[in-house]
Amino acid sequence: MSKEELIEMLHDHEQTAEKVDELSRLVDQYPYFHTGHQLYIKGLQQTDPKKMEQQLGIAAINVRNRALLYNYLNNIDLFLQLTMLINESIRKEAEAEAERKAEAEKKEEAERKAEAERKAEAERKAEAERKAEAERKADAEKKAEAEKKAEAEKKAEAERRAEAEKKAEPERKADVTGKTDVDKRSFHDSLIEAFISSSPKIVPGERAFVVDLSESMRDVTDIGTETLADIYAKQGNKLKAIEIYEQLILKNPEKNIYFAAQIKRLKE
């Protein structure tokens, strides 16, 4: 039974007699529907007064206003006025319920939107963290690669130096131990001959003579010994002495500290 049919029966109570069976099923299905009970009782009043008396007790329990039921059974106009008031109240309640439902849906939509925004923000933050982590990892790998490359270069440089020292070691040994007595005597003899050929003289009262061996010894400068460097230093030829000490550093790295000290002393 539709809403329109119920409203029509409220305005035309004679229709209740025609639809007593439908109204009976209605109140059985909805026992707390007080308007249905009122219409059913009105229909029984016209069709089956005896059953109406039996049903009246049940209707009195289920309707909200027994006075309204009584007036309806005895004064249809008053009932219609009251029914209109009830319907208006029901309409307002339905509208209020619709508003509450709309407000709840609006609130739910706002919460869904806020949740979506929070989720999107969390995803953006997670993406930024993943990107930052990837950059840190790439930087770490780049740094490790650079350190590895530097270590390899350092190792290669050390190997080159070791190879160079290994290669130079026989030459140093040959320079230190390879000279025979004949070579040493020849060198000393050349120094003596150079000294004699300069014909040095001792003049009383004058400053001590200085023998300049720079020219006569030019052919032996390549030999480069500590003795020759010392001679040049005593003659005042510091540049030549420094040059020989520098050669000795290359030939005798194990004494480089001593030769460097001599060079520093000559430069002061």
For residue 171, is it within any domain?
no
For the chain, what is the domain count? 2
Q: Are 60 and 66 spatial neighbours (Cβ–Cβ below 8 Å)?
A: yes
Is the per-residue pLDDT at 122 higher than 70? yes
For residue 208, is it within any domain?
yes
Q: Are 194 and 216 spatial neighbours (Cβ–Cβ below 8 Å)?
A: yes
Question: What residue type is 96 in one-letter code?
Answer: A
Is the per-residue pLDDT at 126 higher than 90? yes
Q: Which has more pLDDT, 215 or 161?
A: 161
For residue 242, is it within any domain?
yes
Flag the least confident range among 36-40, 71-75, 161-165, 255-259: 71-75
Domain boundary among 34, 59, 74: 74
Is the per-residue pLDDT at 42 higher than 60? yes
For residue 147, is it within any domain?
no
For residue 197, is it within any domain?
yes
For residue 245, is it within any domain?
yes
The pair phi, psi for residue 24, each rounded to 5°, is -65, -45
Domain, as residue range, for 32? 3-74
Flag the least confident range among 97-101, 148-152, 224-228: 224-228
Domain boundary among 51, 74, 97: 74
Q: Rounded mean pLDDT of 23-36? A: 81
Distance, CA of 12 to CA of 33 (rounded, Å): 19
For residue 91, is it within any domain?
no
In this prediction, residue 89 has a pLDDT band, given cuts at 50, 70 and 90, of low
Domain boundary among 43, 74, 105: 74
For residue 229, is it within any domain?
yes
